[in-house]
Amino acid sequence: MNGFKQFLLRGNVVDMAVGIVVGAAFGTVVASFVKDLMTPFIAAIVRKPDFSGIAFQINGSKFMIGDFVNSIISFVLIAAAVYYAVVLPVNALVARARKQPPPDPTTKKCPECISEIPIQAKKCAFCTTQLPA
């Protein structure tokens, strides 16, 4: 039972649970936005009183085009919100974290023979030139 309690109280599980709850609430808000605001707007453009009611029948089967378009609009809005509110900022933070200052050089070039020699060297190992301090 202790292992299960530790698993539940780990930060990842709690963060995931909060994310799922907030995501579900956000999905409901977007669905309401599409149903209550976008659908009437599109219906006004195509001159139908209820855009979500647009449908056609083939052999007694009803195809709800309006509901399908509402679902597509909801998906696009949710995907755009997730991309701009989560993916882009996280990618920017990861890119910023990966940009580390270049490491200090460990070698230098000999002014005479242009060979790579250690920074601490006082004499070039290739041409035996005395190097300035």
**CA-angle at 19, arms to 17 and 23, nearest 5°:** 120
Q: Which two tokens stand for residue 17?
A: 């649970």
Query: What is the location of CATH 1.10.1200.120 in the chain?
Result: 2-98
Q: Is the dihedral of CA 38, 41, 47, 50 positive or negative?
A: positive
Q: What is the pLDDT of residue 82?
A: 78
pTM recorded for the entire structure: 0.51
- What is the CATH architecture assignment of 2-98? Orthogonal Bundle (1.10)
Inform me whether the pLDDT recorded for 15 exceeds 80.
no
Q: Using one digit for the tens of pLDDT, what is the confidence trace for 115-129?
A: 999 989 899 988 988
Q: Label residue 49 by pLDDT band (50, 70, 90).
A: low
Average pLDDT for 90-97: 84
Percent of the chain with pLDDT over 90: 9
Per-residue pLDDT for 84 more than 90? no
Scanning the structure block, which residue is given the tokens 């301090």?
Answer: 133
